[in-house]
Amino acid sequence: MGYHVVNGDDHEYEERTFVEGQPPRLAADVTTSAQLTQSRGRIWRYPPHTRGRRHADRVQEEVFVVLSGTLTMLLGHPPERFDLPPQSVVAVEPMTSLQARNESEEELVLYVYGAPPEQAGAEHFDDPGDL
């Protein structure tokens, strides 16, 4: 088959905790459900005041699409802060440090897409705290 359709109601979310004491983020594995082979994707749901892990992928280019809410993205070293509304897109080249955050009072929903479909080899960094 040349296509795969995944209805939004069919996504299965798993809890992903990063910072102790914060509510868990939720992630839906689009790579598996859409049967992606040349890339990988996830839909992320960040509750208010949660953050992901600061990291740099060694091989993978990542694209972040804000579906709803406000994404606070820390990019580079030292980190530069960007606050991005819905329909914003951030493309991050390999070996660029990044951290996705929701510093707002509303849920943040992101689609994150990467290619090639590498999952190993990311470098992790300390959280820089509030910026």
Helix, strand and coil percent figures for the chain, each rounded to 5: 5, 45, 50
CB atoms within 10 A of CB 121: 11
> Is the pTM higher than 0.95?
no
For each of the chain's 131 residues, which pLDDT tens digit applies?
Answer: 699 999 999 999 999 987 788 899 999 999 999 999 999 999 999 999 999 999 999 999 999 999 999 999 999 999 999 999 999 999 999 999 999 999 999 999 999 999 998 767 788 888 888 87
* Domain 26-122 superfamily per CATH: Jelly Rolls (2.60.120.10)
Is residue 43 within 8 A of residue 30, CB to CB? The reply is yes
